[in-house]
Homo-oligomer: A and B are copies of this chain.
Amino acid sequence: MALKYSRQRQVIYDFLMTRKDHPTAETVYQNVRQEYPNISLGTVYRNLTLLADMGTIQRLRVGDGIDHFDADTSEHYHFVCSECGGVTDLKMESIAEILETARKDFDGEIQGHVTYFYGICDKCTKSNLLRK
């Protein structure tokens, strides 16, 4: 039960901290494999889940059916590009007040909310212009 150190977990976490694009488990695997050639995909999944359960990292579910991971656990929001599928950070003031709005007329305990925004990212908008 007690957590023991593991080189693999360290490498996975270190890698995730270098990225701001919220990679998937597969992407983490492909990258970590560069310096740790025989790490297994199962180990990547297990450790990402472990880290997420501990609250050390965040698991993002943005509707594309694939889990994304984020080493930044501070309150912030995400934007998903409908064209390239990229997931980026969205710096904005807190919208935590929507919790109060939701609680107004609801029986049951509202503990939190998940919000993400979607549209077309800057990069895709620009490359679309070039294409015309």
A98 and B113 alpha carbons, distance in the complex (Å):
13
| A83-120 contacts to B (CB < 8 Å) | 90-93, 95, 98-99, 101-102, 104-120
Q: How far is the CB of A40 from chain B (nearest CB, A)?
A: 22
**Contact yes or no, B107 A118, CB < 8 A:** no
Pairwise interchain contact B108-A113, C-beta atoms closer than 8 A: no
CB of A81 within 8 Å of the partner chain: yes
Tally of chain A residues near chain B (CB < 8 A): 38
The answer to whether the Cβ of A31 comes within 8 Å of any Cβ in the partner chain is no
Report the separation of the CA atoms of residues A124 and B108 in the bound assembly, to the nearest whole angstrom.
Answer: 8
Are A77 and B102 in touch, CB under 8 angstroms? yes
Tell whether A108 pairs with B92 under 8 Å between CB atoms, given A115-B113, A116-B114.
no
* Chain A interface residues (CB < 8 Å from chain B): 61, 63, 65, 77, 79, 81-82, 90-93, 95, 98-99, 101-102, 104-125
